Amino acid sequence: MRCPPLLLRMEISRPNVKGYNVFWLPVFLAWIVLAAIFLALLPLIVFVALVALFFGFGKSVILFVPLVCNCICNLHGMEINVESRDRIMVLSFR
């Protein structure tokens, strides 16, 4: 399993101007907060999954958690380029 991205690199530059600004944002702090929220909601998720078993879609409720974790872990290495007339921004998960 891949590990989730720990840093977000945000690069902002202007066309036809030399130089750019780079910001490093610690995303791992958000993962700590999200893990705490997940642990607090875990009893509710288990209860909903048990109730959903009676209606036939409990398996999809249970498999939703690994799906979200897999999506978060696959953010590692993703790069987003946003261009406008006066600014270019590059977001890169590392």
Give the tens place of pLDDT for each residue, 19-33.
889 999 999 999 899
pLDDT exceeds cutoff 80 at 54: yes
pLDDT exceeds cutoff 80 at 1: no
**Amino acid symbol at 64:** F
pLDDT exceeds cutoff 80 at 51: yes
- Token duo for residue 33: 């907060």
Nearest to 34 by CA among 73, 84, 82: 73
Domain definitions of the chain by residue range:
7-93
pLDDT for the residue numbered 81: 94
Q: Report helix, strand or coil for 27.
A: coil
pLDDT exceeds cutoff 70 at 4: yes
- pTM of the model as a whole: 0.72
Q: Report the chain's mean pLDDT, rounded to a whole number.
A: 90
Mean pLDDT of 38-51: 91
DSSP β-bridge partners for residue 64: none
